[in-house]
Each structure stands twice: as C-alpha cells, then as structure tokens.
C-alpha cells in the first residue's frame, strides 16, 4: 500500500506579503533577544531594494505556516542579508539553508555580484551554513552583538555571485 500522502513536502519559498509581517515579527522575536516589530518589518519592506523571502510549510490542506524568513537589501551590484530567522521549533531541518539558497539564486538571476552578511562569531550552526554556501570572512566587528553567547563579535562574510 502506498502511503505517499504522509510524506512531508518540502517548504515553499515565496515573497512575504504585508499581511505576513506580524508572524515574521513573532519569529524574529523568538529568534533574537532584540526582535524587530511588525512595524519595523513593514518599514523595511517599503524601502527600495528590500525583499523579504519566507519559507512556508506546504500542505494539501491549505495550512501553510511560516517557518522562517530572510530579508535582503540590494544596492547597485551588491546585496546584504539584513536578517534571517527560523522559528526555533523548526531549526536543524534545513529551513535556513533553503532560504539562503533561494536568496542566492534570486540575486544571481538579478546579476548581483556579491552578498554580504554579519554573523555572531559564537553562532557555530550559522557559520557552518554560510561556509557551506561559499561565504568567506572579510572582516570583523567587535562588540556588534550585545546579547551574544560569546564576546559579541561579528564576522563580516561575503560570497561572490558573478
């Protein structure tokens, strides 16, 4: 007997709508000590060059909860990750990697030459993900994260897309 309908489908990545900002703010608040509000996210989304991609659980029944999101800002031929957050209950399932792969593909298609991000130097899982995706350290910012598990230092990382 086939039980294919019990197999989970991969998450769907799409642009976030303004109506999603409240849920994104909840995920950000659960992910960081200084979470961004719905108003903060809405203001960011209105800025030129800013895109919010979100991963949703796919479902045959229409219940498609948001699992995580990434905010990108493009200026000329460079982009930066403003934030990436995955619901703490959904971590270690590849959602962050999926979001970053979609972000990289989109930026590549848009002919963006490089993508930058800052990451807490004490965040080993994030560092491992970014290194697997080809990011390399190009700088450091001391005391960047107030609520870090480490000394608060951030690594500035870059991946070339062109």
Active site residues: 118, 130
Rounded to 5 degrees, φ, ψ at 43 are -65, -40
Which residues have C-beta within 8 Å of that of residue 48, sequence separation ≥ 6? none
Query: CA distances (Å), 28 to each of 3, 56, 156, in order?
Result: 36, 15, 21
Q: What is the DSSP letter of 32?
A: S
The C-alpha torsion from 89 through 92 and 97 to 98, rounded to 10°, is -50
- Distance between CA 75 and CA 116 in Å, rounded? 12
- Which H or E element spans position 75? strand 66-75
């Amino acid at each position: 007997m086939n039980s294919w309908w019990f197999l989970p489908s991969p998450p769907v990545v799409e642009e976030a709508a303004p109506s999603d900002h409240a849920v994104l703010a909840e995920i950000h608040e659960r992910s960081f000590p200084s979470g961004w509000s719905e108003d903060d996210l809405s203001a960011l989304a209105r800025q030129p060059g800013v895109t919010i991609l979100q991963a949703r659980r796919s479902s045959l029944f229409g219940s498609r909860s948001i699992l995580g999101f990434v905010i990108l800002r493009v200026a000329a031929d460079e982009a930066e990750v403003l934030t990436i957050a995955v619901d703490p209950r959904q971590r270690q399932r590849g959602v962050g990697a999926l979001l970053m792969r979609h972000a990289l593909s989109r930026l590549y298609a848009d002919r963006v030459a490089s993508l930058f991000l800052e990451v807490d130097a004490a965040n080993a899982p994030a560092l491992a993900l970014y290194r697997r995706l080809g990011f390399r350290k190009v700088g450091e910012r001391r005391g960047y994260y107030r609520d870090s598990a480490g000394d608060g230092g951030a690594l500035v990382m870059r991946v070339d897309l062109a």
